[in-house]
A and B are shown apart, each in its own frame.
Chain A
Amino acid sequence: MFRAFALSLTVMTMPAFAETVEIDTYIGAAEVTVQPDRIAVFDIAALDTLDALGIEVDGVVSPLSVDYVSDTAEGADPVGTLFEPDYEAIAAGGYDLLIAGGRSSRVVPELSEVASTIDMTIWEDTVGQGLARLNAYGEIFGKQDEAAALQVTFEDALDAAKAAVADEGSALIVMTNGPTVSAYGANGRFGWLHTALEIPEAVEAVEQATHGEAISFEFIRDANPDVLIVIDRAAAIGQEGDAAAMTLDNVLVHETAAWSNDKVIYLNSANVYIANGGMQSMTQIVSQFATKFAD
């Protein structure tokens, strides 16, 4: 009842043709009906931002991989996994809008046949696209003020982090995976840590690669970064950073400036990897930098 009332209010206060709004998606501009009644979400970064905006979700994929969105996802119906949507459930759910992106972006054509779908992938420019998605959700759900507030919160956190790391020197982003390590550069999927936080790269030759470049511990010692940014692939379970610290705890890494000055920062892999570009994910990560490098 209230929702219907609110909806009619919105419709009345806007010109008659403005029942749709034009937003930016990954594959270009799209017309989306505002205030969709039932939505299903197929991307964790999208769920992260919707959760931050306080928008209710009626269908969601599982597993979620990040824990802070579980309250939003709790009452929602299951609609499959990130890689394999459950089309039966989606068709039966009667959704007005499907939000896909990232890992589910390749099934956007199939999803579009079931219901109106937008591809909200965040990829090349994590921060820019993350904020663009935030504002798009604000437009669609009539939460422009909340979106603006979240953007301010994030930008404040980013500024604080930037100030904290400003004089820390160069950094190397590595992901640990069991006993081995790979490196990521400023153009890779975690490159925004370099560009947004304005941290110079300790090694500039790391190419743009989705899964990083396999490296040896000699590489880390030779690069000798002042800051070592560690993404712990095994942190999905257990204490974050534990397994990664074990992998890096060796004579060669001990000789780097980062290790000897205790400038090794461990990021939760689910945050930075699965929900990359979500507002809460990004805000948490930059806050972690601000805390770690606060003097």
Chain B
Amino acid sequence: MIRWYWAGVLALALLSFLSIFVGVIDLSLRGLWRDPEALRLIGISRFPRTIAAVIAGATLAIAGCVMQMLVRNRFVEPMTAGTGQGAALGILIVTIFAPQASIFLKMVLASGTALVASLGFLEIVRRLPPTQPLLVPLVGLVYGGIIGAGVVFVAYQADLLQFISVWLNGEFSGVLRGRYELLWLAAAGAALTYFAADQFAIVGMGRAVTTSLGLNYKQVVLVGLVAISLISSLTVVTVGIIPFVGLVVPNIISRLFGDNLRQTLPLVAMMGAGLTLASDIAGRLIRFPFEVPVGTVLGVVGAVIFLRLLYRTPRYA
């Protein structure tokens, strides 16, 4: 296990290093120490982008992992539960009613609506019969679809359909100092889930087991869902919807190392971060000096991995 931790840390460090030196403006390692311009560029653009990819990837993977535990279904991720649509709704509302608001303020407000949408989902889920775990993702899809339909209707009327879809398309090209800091909140949220890791792992074994082990099932689920909503809403409004990370990474880790979340969550985080960072670097290089959105790169890579997972199913997890 320790071996894998080190491998993860090493890979992540390597990718971060690459990420800092890949970009449109030339940056050489040699001149770095003498060149204040280069350090400034790293501070303004490269470091925020690298850290944004790391946080977004890691937190989305963790959110996916926790959600899969909570609803006991391996093919669920938060984006299929109305969070993304809630964020879209917020961006739409704030664009229509307060177009003068700064981008950061828009992000804060949209995170709010995404959180409200997620809490709405939570309220619905609490009323579902606990014996039917599959209802949760299904209801999530329907719920997200309804909010999404409303967003599309209003956006179409206001001629903002493309605006919304481009805003929500996951990419890091807009990340600069001052435009990503909300992600630190998501990181804090993800870090907090680590303290409840054991509880989530137990909830993953079912309500009966959880209760007989003396845990308050409802309370653990509530804490988990709030954490998930917070993480995904902040990620969506800051960098857009990044597909597959929350779905694929927890599955791979779970197959390799099982479901002891206290041990595996760091691996989940590192793999999510690495996958996202690698995709972003690839997106910056494929059509240099232009960009391919990370959402597009991951859409392709993630789909391939996901299909592989579906076809090779050692269902012991």
A interface with B by C-beta (< 8 Å): 63, 65, 177-181, 183, 205-206, 213-219, 221-222, 233-234, 236-239, 242-243, 246-247, 250-252, 270
State whether B103 touches A63 (Cβ < 8 A). no
Chain A residue numbers with a CB within 8 Å of B176 are: 217, 250-252
B292 to chain A, nearest CB (A): 7
Q: With CB as the reference atom, state the residue of chain A lying closest to B27.
A: A218
> Of A205, A216, A243, A270, which contacts B173 at CB under 8 A?
A216
Is there a chain A Cβ closer than 8 Å to B108's Cβ? no
Chain A residue numbers with a CB within 8 Å of B158 are: 236-237
Chain B residue numbers with a CB within 8 Å of A181 are: 173-174
Chain B residue numbers with a CB within 8 Å of A206 are: 290
Is there a chain A Cβ closer than 8 Å to B258's Cβ? no
State whether B167 touches A179 (Cβ < 8 A). yes
Q: Given A178-B91, A214-B173, are A233 and B163 also a contact pair (CB < 8 Å)?
A: yes
Q: Given A179-B167, A251-B176, are A243 and B293 also a contact pair (CB < 8 Å)?
A: no
State whether B289 touches A215 (Cβ < 8 A). yes
Q: With CB as the reference atom, state the residue of chain B lying closest to A64.
A: B159
State whether B160 touches A236 (Cβ < 8 A). yes
How many angstroms between the C-alpha atoms of A178 and B102 in the bound complex? 11
Interface bits B151-188 vs A (CB < 8 Å: 1, else 0): 00000011110110011000101101111000000000
B241 to chain A, nearest CB (A): 13
Chain A residue numbers with a CB within 8 Å of B160 are: 234, 236-237
Chain B residue numbers with a CB within 8 Å of A216 are: 23-24, 45, 173-174, 284, 291
Q: Given A222-B24, A252-B44, A252-B45, are A177 and B173 also a contact pair (CB < 8 Å)?
A: no
How many angstroms between the C-alpha atoms of A180 and B294 in the bound complex? 13
**Of the 9-residue stretches B77-85, B92-100, B196-204, which lies at the interface with chain A?**
B92-100
Q: With CB as the reference atom, state the residue of chain B lying closest to A203.
A: B289
B94 to chain A, nearest CB (A): 11
Chain B residue numbers with a CB within 8 Å of A217 are: 45, 173-174, 176
How many angstroms between the C-alpha atoms of A252 and B103 in the bound complex? 16
Chain B residue numbers with a CB within 8 Å of A221 are: 24-25
Q: Return 13 A-B CB contacts under 8 Å, by A number.
A: A178-B103, A179-B179, A215-B173, A215-B289, A217-B45, A217-B174, A218-B45, A233-B163, A238-B95, A239-B100, A250-B178, A252-B44, A252-B45
Q: With CB as the reference atom, state the residue of chain A lying closest to B159.
A: A236
State whether A180 touches B290 (Cβ < 8 A). no
Is there a chain A Cβ closer than 8 Å to B287's Cβ? yes
State whether A246 touches B173 (Cβ < 8 A). no
State whether B174 touches A178 (Cβ < 8 A). yes
State whether B99 touches A215 (Cβ < 8 A). no
A173 to chain B, nearest CB (A): 14
Chain A residue numbers with a CB within 8 Å of B25 are: 218, 221-222
Interface bits B293-311 vs A (CB < 8 Å: 1, else 0): 1000000000000000000
A59 to chain B, nearest CB (A): 21
Chain A residue numbers with a CB within 8 Å of B293 are: 214
